[in-house]
Structure 1
């Protein structure tokens, strides 16, 4: 029920207010060569990452499609680095991601909870549906240090633990940050959101089809 309410609210906000939006598509199965700390879980492999900003509501909606359904019984978290203007943290040059710059970090967990530093996020604003995770983040939680909200840079990196960089499985976008950018028409924003949902459904069906193949072969 929470997922349905969240999705309905997001669509209402989409058509009620101007919004900036951007999406990056990430290759499936492109686990980092430096990832050596655990199994290649499908729900730690990013298929797409989206950033949307509502000018009137003054909030970001962040969404990701993973290669498989998010499983809260397995290890892993989703970290989203944010550059609000004074991004000076560049900790990933050693694994080929030197242009991932941030000064704040959002952590989303597989159980639907999250935080920004010591600030706990409202779980009602985090939604997990199959292989899709979305979160609504108020601008007040990400105060500017020089950029306008449309210029903020975002990068998503799932990781299987909170230790060394060898626990990071993927980056989206690769070696860069994603900003909301220019204002599209509301219909374009809705199409992007719908595309993310469709991509998620396609990946889920593909995964189920692959799971069924061995059983069919035995018949």
Structure 2
């Protein structure tokens, strides 16, 4: 194995040692569940029109939304799905994620989006929804809480407010209920970045390759020069 191959192998070994620092994550959570009157309807009969139930939140860091959760206290719903939008202060705008449809049975609903990039300081809204599910039926009470019975919403950084979407003849109308919050959590995971030691290894590896190439070129030049008579 000649010097250039050895040098290249050494450099590749350095690159192979690149290990990104663990990605940091931040969870915006409201775990209280002391009030369950808000409801979610599977159909539009009997005056039950609420087919979106959600919470706004502000991204505390830039990164990927990797998890969000809601709770149904009681439910006869056939099915629901999770959905995330950008929020402009009055309503949802761009749809960023929609889960597969799943059973609407009571309990914890845990969604794991992929490819949903959030920007620090921007506000978003996540929902449990039944809107558009044909043949759906049933009614659910949704886990939420009031500030004066254990849900200190104003003290939870980056948590927004509960939002419901009432479906009328011309489509959903969204209302932000400042006196309520959903039992909700959202986890944002920042992208992994190389550790400082990793950058040193990369620089050293590239230096080794560069040195080996220059040395090889000098040797080739010397070989081509005619011998002195």
- What is the TM-score normalised by the length of structure 1? 0.36
- Name the structure with the higher helix share: 1
Select the structure of larger CA radius of gyration: 2
Please, what TM-score do these two structures have when normalized by structure 2?
0.35
With a CA cutoff of 8 Å and minimum separation of 6, indicate the structure with the bigger relative contact order. Answer: 2
